[in-house]
Structure 1
Amino acid sequence: MEQNNLRRFAWLTVIAVIAGAGFFWMPQIALAHGDEDHGEAAPQMAQGPLLPRFSASSDALEVVGVLRGKEVDLFVDNAKTNAPVSGLSIEISADEFSVRATEVAAGEYRAELSWLGKPDHYPLIFVVDGEMEGDAFSDLLEATLDSVDMPALITPAMTKPASMRLADGQVAMYKATQHLLGIRTLPARFEDTRRAIALNGKVIADPTASGVVQTIQAGRIGAPEAGFPVLGQRVKAGEVLAWLEPAISSLERANQEAALAELDAQLKLAHSRSARLESLRGSVPNKEIEAAKVEVHGLEQRRRALAASVGQREVLRAPMDGVIGTANVVVGQVVNAGDTLFTLLQPNRLWVESLAYDASPLQKSAAARSEGVTFSLAEISRGAVLQDQAVPILYRILPPVPAIPVGQPVTVLAESQTQVNGVIVPSEALMRNGQGEWIVWLHDAAERFRPMLVQWEALDGARSLVRKGLHEGDRVVIRGAASLSQVR
């Protein structure tokens, strides 16, 4: 193959055959196996015509052709990623005949080979021009229709896309099905990267972006006019969340009433004295008259304050803008001083607290994952006092902050300074087989996938490092692996 920056040529020999009217027959094949009882009868593949198909690949493209009478359907994918390639110009020629394929869907083309007749050898030439990944290219494919080249035991459905688990554990899957499921691959490439260390952690609220509502005295809880706020409700700073009626014993109430009676008596005497001195104005110094008035005013203020304290409700307000995290209140509830009634937080400002038994080799950046959710972290600080013989490390969850509850256990994956070598793949590429062993799926042929046992370790919440089981250039399925594992 001769190539330059703008043009690449690939010669590919594609072998297929047209027998009779282009039909082949296969016996019935049941999907059950051994003597196992699968409950309902496993579906069987009915006898019927199997469309002849061929495949070919170059460094740039992977092509599968399906013959339907005199029509050929071409599925054209990126050879590295298995992504359908659109916008191509495909010309098919044989001797003096020539036809141009028409794109009918993304990466799917169709042409009518009107010159096909009785079974014979038909040399075909496919000229493919277009653009892929920003580069213009041209591939020249030579095809001789001479024999069948297809995955064995694949379902013989003529028009419906299908897939099937083969006896050796491999999966045969039509290209049309691959397009529907969005199967994507990536060539394996070994590289050095830093090893990740897994730490146990939990989500906590940012102390500067969270708050609590507590009582400073014992009493009975009452609801505001709008009712108590509920979990997850947003509130504003200063918003009334609840009322507290202070708890007063009979003795305390009697003492308050006695103090009020005493103040009433003193106030009555003070009023009388002030009135008497006012009537003697000019005969007594003015300062005595003013002093009597001040005494009356002071006693009135003391009485008002004491009377207001008897049965006065305490207003419990939100200390900040935020979301209600917990609410431990009901109408009539009796609480003690210091009880926490509400907690507030800002969901977009969360931390992760973790423990590391050896924090010295850890880098500042990290990632965390929990129940399928992955997010990035940035270290805030490290504790100077050990907790359970480990160093506490605080991380800030970087935007976008996931919808994860405070207190949720997480696994923190912190980079170390140790270098390891392997193939980096998305974590979703790793699957478990029926024996519980870890595997990845390899794209061995256009319509054939093979499970491969691997050894791996996590790098961060989204990526993993496969250390054993792969070879350079293996086409690893990085999207749609779960769909392949479900094929039976």
Structure 2
Amino acid sequence: MRALRLGLTGMVVALLAACGGHGEPAEAPRPALVVHPGGGAQAALSAYAGEIRARQESPLSFRIGGNLVRREVSAGDTVRQGQLLAVLDPGDQALQAQAAQAQLAAAEADLTRARGDLARYSKLVDQQLISRSAYDAQLAAFKAAEGQAQAARAQANVARNQAAYTQLRAPRDGVIASRQAEAGQVVGAGQTIYTLAADSGRDVVIALPENRIREFRLGRPVLVELWNAPGERLPGTIREISAAADPQTRTFAAKVNLPGDAAKAVELGQSARVYVADTGPQAELRVPLSAVQRDANGRTAVWVVDPRTHQAKSRSVTLGRYGDVDVPVLNGVAASDWIVAAGGHLLREGQAVAPVDGNNRPVMQAVAATKPE
């Protein structure tokens, strides 16, 4: 019996020794749903519909009313400064100018006579042949004639200007953007005949929503994409923002300046999109609420997967105000990091994971582990 017990003991020892020669089986990587933090540098650009407009658009009109007898240009024509655009019937203004010129001639004749009489009266009073009061009366008559002549001269100039106002000329170089009157139409003073788009530059006019107006400032860089040239984006800057919202649409009108080279590539009235990089809360790095954990020290943290080793590492972060499904990360992670979005409470520091996306597909290529020397 003693020999039997010794034999059994030896077998047990041998079995234990044999088991002790093999290490514990390696732990399989735990599948982990990973995502990139949303927003930040990878946030989508906000797009706003716009229209190409001239930087200076001037409504052109006659200073006087009358019958429009001739149009010299039409919409789309290029004009030069001083070029004749339209003509009113000059009949009445020509007659008024002639009448004013005749009144000026009569007033100047009276002034010439009064000047001669004053010269003679001056000699007579010096010789004491007339009284001083008679000379003073003649001096007053001369000043009155002089004033009449000045008034007639001013009236003749006004009449001459009125006659010139029957011709509408371009105040600067540009393009006729629109026409609002036809030949034969009786127009009033100040009624728009043409709209002139000056050659001084081109803007893109957009409307900004009132809930984001504080995110925009003058000089902010943007990108402009023409509707007929998709994919080609021109540089621009915000040049002007309206101080008040439109009472109907509740949006703020803004103008985007296009530099010289970009302005040459656009035409008036073209449709465009203006892309602006988000800078508000939607542009912050954000992670799902399920990714937020507590580390060993009780601090707020997230699990970050090393793309080279596929190991999960806890990283302390500073969070902003919690949302319904995610939370902004103020610091601690970058937009390129892979964050464990679910199951973080089951991980431990340095644990190997198998990163997958929402469709259970691998998102990172495996990297062979380096063997220790």
TM-score, normalising length: structure 2: 0.46
Question: Max radius of gyration: which structure?
Answer: 2
Q: In proportion to residue count, which structure has more helix?
A: 2
TM-score (normalised: structure 1): 0.37
Instruction: Name the structure, 1 or 2, with higher relative contact order (CA <8 Å, separation 6+).
Output: 2
